[in-house]
Amino acid sequence: MEKTFQTKLDPVTFEVLKNSFSNLVDQMAEQILRTCYSFVIYNRDFSNALCDAQGNTIMQGSQDIAVHVGTLHFTAKAVLEDFKDDIHPGDVFLINDPYRGGTHFNDVRVLRPVFYDGKMIAIMQSCGHWADMGGSVPGSFDVSSKDHYGEGVLIPPTRVWHKGEYLADVANLMVTNMRVPEERLGDLRAQAEATKVSEQELLRLVGKYGIDTVLTAFDEVQDYVENLAKAKLRNLPDGTWETVDYIDMDPEVGDGLIPINVKMTIEGEEIYYDLEGTHDAIRCFLNASFGSSYSGLYAGTKTLFPDIPLNSGFYRVIKANLPEGSVVNARWPVAVTGFCSGPYEKIMNACFELWSHVMPERALACSFNLEYLLIGGQDKRGKEDSFFMWYDWMAGGHGGRIDRDGANAISPVFGIGLSVQPCEGQERLTPVVTSKHEIITDSGGPGEYRGGCGIEKGGTLTSVHDSVISVCCDRSRSVPFGLFGGLPSYPHGTSLKTANGDDRFLGAFFSGVTIKAGDSFTRPSAGGGGLGDPLKRDPEKVLHDVINRYVSIERAKKDYGVVINEVNAELDQYTIDYAATQEMRQYIRNHRKQWLQEDIHYIGELFRKGEIDQLDLIRQYGVLVDLTTGEVLEKSTQQFRETLQKRAVAYWD
C-alpha cells in the first residue's frame, strides 16, 4: 500500500492555501502583462515565484517559462547569502548573474522580501527577459563572445529600493549601459509592482488564516510535492540509462559535434543525473552555467510527470553531477548567453529520451530547437530617428509520441507558455514587415508517429539605418532526432537576400551582420523527430499528411515508402497505389541499412551535383555537410550516423 501524505493542516485549509499560492503568483503575471514596456515580456517571456524565507520555491505561475522557474530558488538564495541580516521591509533587489544560479544576462530577477511582525516570511520574485543588456550587439546575443564582457551588464545581488526608497542612481547606473534604457526602467517598475501586488495578497492570507498556518502551508506544499514524486519513483524500476545529445560545433574548431552526455540512475526514491564526459566549455556563447543546466534536468523530468506540481519539493528528489568547466557548468567569465539554444534544450531532450525507455507509455522524440532572431538599429519612420529592437522567437514541431504525431507549430519545450508574437504588433513597433509565416512541408521527422512540423518565417527591412541582425539557434547539424526507429526532422538556418539580389546562407547562429533597407531574410524552424519505424505508418495517415501539405508526394515515397498519385491537387484528391507501396516499402527495407554505410564523400558529391537533396542526406544517408560550402563534415557525420544506429536502425526489422 502506498504511503499517504499527512498534513498538520486540515485537508480543506491545505488545498485552499495551496491553490491560493498559485493564484497569488498568477496575479503577478497579470500585473506584468498590463504594465510592462517590452514587447518581449508582453509575449510572456517572464516567470514569477513565491519563495519561502530560505529562498526555496513554494509555487510558480501556471504559464511560467520552465527554465526560469527551475533557477529562481538559486537566485533567491544568492541574495540571502550576500545581504544576510541587512534586509529590511521595503527593500527590493535585482540579480541576473548566471554564475550564481541564473540563466543568462537578459533574464533579470526582481526580488521583494515580505515581512510580517518584523520578521521576513517570504520572498516574491519576478524574472523578465529584458530585450537588451548592453554588450557588443543589439539584443546582447553575440555568438563570438568568449566571456561575459561582450554579452552585457552582469548584475550581482543589488539593492534598488532601500526601505521603500527608490535608489535612482543605482538603477540609472545599470540601464544607461543598455540600449533603450527607458524601456528597461519600465520593465523594472512593472516587475517591482508585480512583487508588491503579491506581497499584499500574501499578507491578506496571513490576516485571514494566521501566520502560523501560512508558514506551515509553505512547508507542507513542498513536502506534498516531494511525497508525490517519491511515490511515482517507488513504482518505477531501479536502473541506469544513458544517452548523448549534441551542440552543432565549436565555431573555432569547425567539424565535430559537441557531446552532452546524460546518464540517469533511478534508485529507490531518488533520481541521479551524471553528466560526466560532457565536452569542455566551447569558445562561443553556447555554454550553460550550473543553474540553467539544473533547470534543464528539472524541466525535462517534470515533462514526463505532468500531474506533479513544480516547486522545491520536486527538486529534492533530483541530484546531479555537472562537471565544472564543461558546457553544462561553465564558470565565470565564460560566455553563456546562448545557453537556451545550446545545452538547455539538449539536456531536456536527453531526459525525454531516457524517460521514454523507463515509461514508454509517455515516450517523446526530440523537439525543435529554440531560436531567437534579433535586429537592432535606427528606425527612420518618424521625424526623429529612434533605436529599435526586433526580437523574435519561432514556433516549431515537437517530437512524435508513443500513440500520436507530434504537435505542429508550437512553442519550444524551453517555455510552452511563450506566445507566438503577433506580426501586426511587431510591424507597428519596428521597421520590419513579415513576408511569410507558414508551416514547412516535410519538416516533421518521419516515423510511425510523425514529428510535428516546423514553420518558415520571413521578413523585409523597411526604413532602417545602421542596423544589424543576429540569430541564436542550433541543430543545423545535430538535427532533431527520432526514437524507436524514427528519423530526424529538418535543420535550422537563416538566409539573407540583399536589396541588390545577393543571397547568403548565414547558418544557425551568427551575430552583428549588417543589414539595410530592402534586405530580406527567411528562417525555418525544425520539426520534431519521428517515433517508430516510418515504414509502419498507416498509408492512410500518410495520405492525410499529403492532403494537409505536411508531407510532399516525393517524401511520402522516400521516407514512408507510400506511393501516392495526384488526381486533382486543388480539390485535395489523391490516391494510394497499394501495390506500388508494398513494393517500395520492401525495397527500402532491403537497402536502408546499406545506405547508412555508403561512402560519405560519394554522397556529398551527389548532393553538390543536385542529384539528392538535403533531406536525402540526413534521413537516407546520415551525412552532414557544411551548408555554406557543401563540404562533407567527416567527424560530425560519423557522430550523427552513430546516433542513427542507436535510435533508428536498432529498431528496424
pLDDT one-digit tens code per residue, 258-286? 999 999 999 999 999 999 999 999 999 99
Q: Where are the alpha helices (DSSP H) in 246-400?
A: 290-303, 312-315, 343-358
| Cα 429 from Cα 424, distance rounded (Å) | 9
How far is Cα 283 from Cα 292, in angstroms, rounded to an integer? 19
Cell reading at 11: 485537508
At residue 538, what is the residue type? D
177: left (phi over 0), alpha (psi -120 to 50) or beta: alpha
Element housing 128 (H / E): strand 119-129
Over residues 477-506, the mean pLDDT reads 95
Q: Which of 125, 121, 128 is nearest to 112 (CA)?
A: 125
Average pLDDT over residues 192-199: 98
> Of residues 414 and 96, which shows the higher confidence score?
96
535-586 pLDDT per residue, tens: 999 999 999 999 999 999 999 999 999 999 999 999 999 999 999 999 999 9
The pLDDT of residue 2: 44
Judged by phi (left if over 0) then psi (alpha if -120 to 50, else beta), residue 512 lies in left
Chain segment 446-478, per-residue pLDDT in tens: 999 999 999 999 999 999 999 999 999 999 999
CA distances from 636 to 492, 510, 526, 618, 630 (A): 16, 20, 19, 12, 14
Cα separation values, 52 from 26, 94, 103, 276, 295, Å: 17, 17, 21, 33, 19
Alpha-carbon distance 513 to 468, whole Å? 5
User: How far, in Å, CA of 70 to CA of 61, rounded?
Assistant: 12
> How much is the average pLDDT of 406-410?
95
**211's torsion region: left (phi>0), alpha (psi -120 to 50) or beta?**
alpha
Alpha-carbon gap, residue 407 to 453, rounded angstroms: 7
> Tens digits of per-residue pLDDT, 33-62?
999 999 889 888 999 999 999 999 999 988
- Mean pLDDT computed over every residue of the chain: 95
> Distance from CA of residue 624 to its chain's centroid?
24
With a cut of 50, say whether residue 1 has pLDDT above it: no
206 with 114: CB under 8 angstroms? no
Statement: residue 445 has pLDDT above 50: yes
The C-alpha cell at 460 is: 523585409
372-379 and 318-321 strand pairing = unpaired
Give the residue extent of every domain in the chain: 11-228, 370-532, 541-586, 597-652
CA atoms of 403 and 400, how far apart (whole Å): 8
